[in-house]
Structures are given as structure tokens and as C-alpha cells.
Amino acid sequence: MAQRLRCPTCQRAIQWSEQFPYRPFCSDRCRLIDLGAWLSGKHAIADDAAQAAEERAPGLYEPPER
């Protein structure tokens, strides 16, 4: 009866059942990895860019023109 699927993080085969409380992920670890990847793609890069600019010219950070 249980639906079969794969963990989006590690591609491990799991079942859609109470055996896998973190579904669609196989484990809490894979859930956090996926969340972390999403966050690093959205926020961490912007933070790094602002921080790097501040190190070069403190207080004079200007966003790059587009």
C-alpha cells in the first residue's frame, strides 16, 4: 500500500509511511541538508557579497549596478 519515492537529497528509496517521519526525506539529516541548500542559495550568497564589499571599503558599500 505504501507509496514508494526517493529522498530528494540522497536519492535513497523510501516509503510514504510512518516508518519515515521525515518524508519525503529519508531522515532529519537529509531534511536539514535540503533546507540548508535552499537557504545558502537565497541568503548566504547575498550576505557574503555584502560582507566582502565591506571588508574592502568599510562603510562605503554600494550594490553593484545592473
Q: Which residues bind Zn ion (CB under 5 A)?
A: 7, 9-10, 12, 26, 30
The one-letter amino acid at 50: A
Phi and psi for 36 in degrees, rounded to 5? -65, -40
How far apart are CB 8 and Zn ion at their closest, in Å? 8
Task: Closer to Zn ion by CB, 8 or 61: give it.
Answer: 8
Cβ–Cβ < 8 Å for 41, 54 = no
Tell me how far apart the alpha carbons of residues 46 and 34 are, in angstroms, rounded to a whole number.
Answer: 19
CB of 38 to Zn ion, least distance (A): 15
Of 5 and 10, which has the nearer Cβ to Zn ion? Answer: 10
Least distance between Zn ion and beta carbon 33 (Å): 8
